[in-house]
Amino acid sequence: MRVAKRLENLPPYLFVEITKKIAEKRAKGEDIISFAVGDPDIPTPSHIISRLIEAAQDSTNHRYPESDGLPELRQAVAEWYQKRFDVSLNSEKEVLPLIGAKEGIAHIAFSFIDPGDTVLVPDPAYPVYAIGTILAGGRPHYLPLTAGNNFLPNLRTIPEHILEMTKLLWINYPNNPTGAVADLRFFNQVVEFAKKNDIAVCHDGPYTEVAFDGYEPVSFLQADGAKEVGVEFHSLSKSFNMTGWRIGVVVGNELIVKALMTLKSNIDSGIPQAIQLMAIEALSGPQDCILEHNTIYQRRRDLVVEVLNKIGLEAQTPMASLYVWAKVPPGYTSASFAADLLEQVGVVVTPGLGYGPSGEGYVRLSLTVADASLVKGLSRLAGWRDDVNKFRIKVS
């Protein structure tokens, strides 16, 4: 038996080594604390769960859902965008519910990319932008995100011959893994760039609701003319702690939405209707849970940044997202530092290299660690410094 070449051509999964080591240690009964997963530890708010329980009892929700989602859900998404971002959407043509944003992010490549086409992909980034591209036969062209440019891509330095082959541009703010944010000025520049080069823009925005200190992230669709060139992926996962229920949405350009819909209607049969009703409840119901969760994340963020800086990692305080992106101490690679932390103090962080070559020299810590574990993990991290100092004294 032989699997398709398209699977063999995928880049190696860079977390293999560390995942194996964690499993070994846990099997031996070692207590490992992981800052690696971006998956909210706080449960889905109870009013949303109540809606599911009610919907599960209703037999109309036991049958095949429509591929394009309940009209009431598309309407709720449009109303939420209007209220939250002052962006008007036609709920018939510019809104498409997804089985989690990830599903749409991977599939959109199959609606737009022919073999040999180029896709502009940030580096470091959520791996699915590049993987979807590769699976569809396209070629990712990486745009480095560096601290010097506030982790925004430099659109002016992309070679002309690349632009000629490019069909799509991926951007993601608030950003995973760097925690960087973008303002409307940047999004306006992206629209201009896209128009000039005839490139479709996919903005991935699952963290627009996860922000701190009163900061309110903007939507890409707030940029002038954004709907003429692009779409925005949004997710209920991070905003409402609903990662396990699998529901997201893509909104914006009618042609792009339709192209993804055409593909999807041939692959899946939509999102379980009871879960769509949960999403309606989340978007239309009380929004207090967002601030409540952000207050918890903000407190964790401050603790994490403080400890990291104390042990000699340069960590900026993110204004949004669930992540702290920290520079590893001199003399380490992102992988050797992550391996050291696991070995010496039983703490897991994600090596930045796993998100792309420009992630080298960084590690990512997630704020979705329950408070008790977080405190324990941080006190272990704080102790790591002593080991380093001992090591330094030994070598000098």
Ligand X SMILES: *Cc1c(COP(=O)(O)O)cnc(C)c1O
Q: What is the identity of the amino acid at 206? A: P
- Buried/exposed 96-120: b ≥16 CB within 10 Å, e otherwise: bbbbbbbbbbbbbbbbbbeeebbbb
Stretch that binds ligand X, among 150-158, 230-238, 325-333, 360-368 (CB under 6 A): 230-238
Degrees to nearest 5, angle at CA 311 with 308 and 315? 30
Interface with ligand X, residue 217, by CB under 6 A: no
* Burial (CB count <10 Å: 0-12, 13-18, 19+), residue 387: middle
Interface with ligand X, residue 366, by CB under 6 A: no
Contacts of residue 299, defined as CB under 8 A and 6 or more positions apart, other chains included, come to none
Stretch that binds ligand X, among 95-103, 210-218, 300-308, 339-347 (CB under 6 A): 95-103
Residue 12 is classified by DSSP as P
Stretch that binds ligand X, among 213-221, 237-245, 347-355, 364-372 (CB under 6 A): 237-245
Residue 217 is classified by DSSP as P
Interface with ligand X, residue 44, by CB under 6 A: no
- With CB under 6 A as the contact rule, the residue among 243, 253, 350, 366 that binds ligand X is 243
How many CB atoms lie under 10 A from the CB of residue 357?
A: 11
User: Which of the residues 146 through 185 are near ligand X (CB under 6 A)?
Assistant: 172, 176
Shortest gap between Cβ of 179 and ligand X (angstroms)? 11
The two structure tokens encoding residue 374:
């977080």
Interface with ligand X, residue 204, by CB under 6 A: yes
Stretch that binds ligand X, among 72-80, 97-105, 274-282, 293-301 (CB under 6 A): 97-105
Please, are residues 225 and 191 in contact by the beta-carbon 8 Å criterion? Answer: yes
Q: Name the residue nearer to ligand X (CB basis): 100 or 356.
A: 100
- With CB under 6 A as the contact rule, the residue among 44, 118, 166, 237 that binds ligand X is 237
Report d(CA 129, CA 150) in Å as an integer: 21
* Burial (CB count <10 Å: 0-12, 13-18, 19+), residue 124: buried
Report d(CA 127, CA 135) in Å as an integer: 12
- With CB under 6 A as the contact rule, the residue among 36, 38, 78, 364 that binds ligand X is 38
Helix, strand, or coil (residue 176): coil
Shortest gap between Cβ of 352 and ligand X (angstroms)? 15
Interface with ligand X, residue 206, by CB under 6 A: yes
Distance, CA of 389 to chain centre? 36
Interface with ligand X, residue 235, by CB under 6 A: yes
Shortest gap between Cβ of 380 and ligand X (angstroms)? 26
Q: Name the residue nearer to ligand X (CB basis): 307 or 322.
A: 322
Task: Give the helix ranges, DSSP H, for 268-320.
Answer: 273-284, 288-310
The two structure tokens encoding residue 106:
């991977």
- With CB under 6 A as the contact rule, the residue among 80, 81, 112, 126 that binds ligand X is 126
The pair phi, psi for residue 51, each rounded to 5°, is -65, -40
Q: Name the residue nearer to ligand X (CB basis): 166 or 235.
A: 235
Stretch that binds ligand X, among 89-97, 99-107, 186-194, 327-335 (CB under 6 A): 99-107
Stretch that binds ligand X, among 5-13, 96-104, 151-159, 285-293 (CB under 6 A): 96-104
Residue 320 is classified by DSSP as B
Shortest gap between Cβ of 99 and ligand X (angstroms)? 8
Q: Name the residue nearer to ligand X (CB basis): 22 or 202.
A: 202
Q: Name the residue nearer to ligand X (CB basis): 38 or 138.
A: 38
Binding site for ligand X (CB under 6 A): 38, 100-102, 126, 172, 176, 204, 206, 235, 237-238, 243, 248
